[in-house]
Amino acid sequence: MADQTFKLPDLGEGLTEAQLVAWRVEEGAHVEVNAPLADVETAKAVVVIPSPWAGTIQKLHARPGETVAVGDALVTIAAEGAAASVEPRLAESDDAAPRTLVGYGPGAPEAGVRRRARVAPAAVSGGDDVRAAPFVRQLAREKGVDLSQVTGSGPGGRITRADVEAATSPAGAAPAAPTPSTDGERRISVVGIRKAIARQMVRSVSTIPQFTEFAIFDASALMAARERQKSGGRSMTPLPYFIEALIKAVRAYPLMNSSWDESHDEIVVKQHINVGIAVNTNQGLLVPVLRDADQFDLSTIAERSAHLIGGARAGTLKPGDMTGGTITVTNVGASGPVETGTPIINPPECCVVGFGAIKPRPMVVDGQVVARPGAWISISVDHRIVDGALATEFLTALVRELETIRA
């Protein structure tokens, strides 16, 4: 003898409960297999439940009129003979045993746990707002490029494969061999740095309303300082002086060191001044970045900028050396007759400063025309951030800094 509890089965394809209409047995009564136990009414029909076992009724678990859920106990029977030994194999908890369909209905879900632990999802990285296609992200991972430091040249600032490649290899890829001419034209496949420059420039002129102002400054103080350095045994190009003057002017006009956030219509003013230095190389124009330039003295600026320029030309810079600029300087007319030009902003920066060649120029000093070393400066600025008056103030401040360099 073993007590077996019969649970209400799903009596008709997806039922969840039944109402007990009447018992046909009493507690203590003896029943045979298939003897009628109870009448129950489901949503579909009134049916008779036959006893699954022979034995003595131990307990009736519901009263007439009560609703019994599928899978809930209906009757407990002290089962006799074979049933007593067969039935434990049918216990629901034993997955290996043939399962009865008791408790199978939709109201009785399987245990609410995962069948198997899935591979843990990769940790979600911080909301960097970087826009890049899956392959570009994969490429950046492989090449060790930090995408948050790469300026995207694609639509909406999306970082492209070319951007990553440009950030990876300062030397860039050589332009493909020109396609042979077929009909009086020659097509040159554009890849690598040329492609990156093209996209960056298109982005600049198509998204940034920019204007340019020009000035000439008196480089006498700068040249004197250079002479002094030279006599001290250290030769220095004018570039470090430009950068140092620029940093001072920017400190006075921090808006020049900012960017326009298109998605929020906000101006983002940068704390650090990272000066991009446009370098003409065999591969095309590269812009290595002198990070935290505002933290350095003149000689450090000289040393580091020389290193960056050399690296750019040699193709030995690391990807991180080319990203994260906040303002850019460029050389316009370093040789030849060209005096100045209109530089194009390097997005998403606000300002680009072009320095011309220092050469003797006629200048009016104390009412007299005299020859003094001088050069053109041009600044292009983002008109969304900066108006003409402010640009003029800034350019004036920059000229003042350059003209008051102390030897």
Pairing of strands 275-277, 327-331: parallel
- Separation of alpha carbons 61 and 53, rounded Å: 17
Can you tell me the distance from the alpha carbon of 145 to that of 360, in angstroms, rounded to the nearest whole number?
Answer: 45
| 1 lines the binding site for other proteins (CB under 8 A) | no
Q: Confirm or reject binding of residue 82 to other proteins (CB under 8 A).
A: yes
Pairing of the two strands 30-31 and 55-60: antiparallel
Structure tokens at 116: 């198997």
User: Binding to other proteins by residue 310, rule CB under 8 A?
Assistant: no
In 3D, which of 48, 49, 36 has the Cα closest to residue 7? 49
Query: Shortest gap between Cβ of 186 and other proteins (angstroms)?
Result: 12
Token representation of residue 118: 């899935």
Least Å distance between CB 133 and other proteins? 4
Site for other proteins in 86-115 (CB under 8 A): 86, 89-90, 95, 98-102, 104, 115
From 159-167, 281-289, 304-312, 361-369, give the range in contact with other proteins by CB under 8 A.
159-167
Identify which of residues 179 and 300 has a Cβ nearer to other proteins in the complex: 179
Q: Is 383 a catalytic residue?
A: yes
Q: How far is the CB of 192 from other proteins (least distance, A)?
A: 13
Out of 24, 61, 137, 307, which residue is the one contacting other proteins (CB under 8 A)?
A: 137
The answer to whether the bond into 348 is cis (omega within 30° of 0) is yes
CB 66 within 8 A of CB 21: no
Shortest Å distance, C-beta 116 to other proteins: 5
Alpha-carbon distance of 399 to 245, in angstroms, equals 8
Q: Kindly indicate which of the ranges 55-63, 151-159, 222-230, 271-279 contains the residues binding other proteins, using the contact rule CB under 8 A.
A: 151-159
Residue 318: CB minimum distance to other proteins, A: 22
Q: Nearer Cβ to other proteins, position 104 or 214?
A: 104
102 vs 275, beta carbon nearer other proteins:
102
Minimum CB–partner distance for residue 82 and other proteins (Å):
7
Contact 68, 23 (CB under 8 A): no
Tokens for 254, please give them.
């921090």
The nearer residue to other proteins, 90 or 267, going by C-beta atoms, is: 90
Q: Which is nearer to other proteins, 32 or 262 (CB)?
A: 32
Nearest to 375 by CA among 246, 238, 226, 218: 218
Q: State the nearest-atom distance from the C-beta of 16 to other proteins, in Å.
A: 14
Q: Is 7 in the site for other proteins (CB under 8 A)?
A: yes
Which of residues 51 and 76 has its CB atom nearest to other proteins in the complex?
51
Element (H or E) spanning 23, and its range?
strand 17-23
Ordered DSSP codes for 217-270: EE-HHHHHHHHHHHHTT----SHHHHHHHHHHHHHH-GGGSEEEETTTTEEEE-
Shorter beta-carbon distance to other proteins: residue 36 or 388 = 36
Instruction: Kindly state whether residue 251 participates in binding other proteins, applying the rule CB under 8 A.
Output: no
User: Of these residues, 30, 264, 307, 383, which one is catalytic?
Assistant: 383
Q: How far is CA 317 from CA 164, 224, 286, 322, in A?
A: 14, 33, 10, 8
Cα–Cα distances in Å, from 262 out to 132, 348, 392?
17, 10, 25
158 binds other proteins (CB under 8 A): yes
Q: Is 135 in the site for other proteins (CB under 8 A)?
A: yes
Which of 67, 85, 189, 299 forms a contact with other proteins (CB under 8 A)? Answer: 189
Contacting positions for other proteins (CB under 8 A): 6-13, 34, 44-52, 82, 86, 89-90, 95, 98-102, 104, 115-116, 133-138, 153-155, 158-163, 179, 187, 189
Active-site annotation, residues: 383
